[in-house]
A and B are shown apart, each in its own frame.
Chain A
Amino acid sequence: DAKTTQPPSMDCAEGRAANLPCNHSTISGNEYVYWYRQIHSQGPQYIIHGLKNNETNEMASLIITEDRKSSTLILPHATLRDTAVYYCIVSALVVTASKLTFGTGTRLQVTL
């Protein structure tokens, strides 16, 4: 699986948009970009994933650059409950087991 690079930490004011960047310059054609988050002492929670088109769901939006070498996760209106470590992962989409390799992630702190 391709490696990802994320800033170690970010701050965001409550109610503002949180934009979390991720670099994945070695991503290959069959690899998707996945985002998970982990709130303290809990299991990771799936947020969103995409291949090349921008994606949006009830939690977030995912913007993938045209060359697919980087992406941005957007939480449109961050709340205190969004404080967590956010992991950007690239992984091939195959039926046979394809593991998720977690990097160090970005620790997002949402403040009042």
Chain B
Amino acid sequence: GAVVSQHPSRVICKSGTSVKIECRSLDFQATTMFWYRQFPKKSLMLMATSNEGSKATYEQGVEKDKFLINHASLTLSTLTVTSAHPEDSSFYICSARPLPLAGGVNNEQFFGPGTRLTVL
């Protein structure tokens, strides 16, 4: 099946620093990638939709200047948490949707393993 990787898998940083998380589709191309955040014992919350070569679309309440998203290629999207604070500590998960096969459409998404961010 399609594989999505995230790097790093976990990161601990000091308050005020910026952290970059990478999301890669390893064996397929994805024009669209999604970024989610998940707090302990809660469901996934969509933060933004990232389209290759264009600006990301952020969900209501998500600060675009704090969570910078870059989708520079069909296999890589990055999320940068700027000036991180302890309340940004969370599990960040990306997903990627493959390019549709010729003549077909699909909304299936493949998820990365997640990145656990701890801000001290």
Contacts and interface: CB of A to CB of B under 8 A. Distances in A.
Contact of B97 (A42, A43, A97, A102): A97
* Interface class of chain B by DSSP: strand
Interface residues of A, number: 26
Contacts of A97: 32, 49, 51, 57, 97
Contacts of B6: 43
A44 interface: yes
Interface string B83-120: 00000000101010100100001111111111010000
A83 B51 CA distance: 34
Given A87-B43, A101-B46, A43 B32 contact: no
Nearest to B51: A97
A79 B94 CA distance: 27
A101 B116 CA distance: 21
A42 B113 contact: yes
A93 interface: yes
B89 to A, nearest CB: 14
B67 interface: no
Given A91-B107, A94-B107, A102-B36, 6 more contacts: A41-B116, A43-B6, A43-B93, A44-B111, A99-B46, A99-B49
Interface of B: 1, 4, 6, 32, 34, 36, 43-46, 49, 51, 57, 91, 93, 95, 97, 100, 105-114, 116
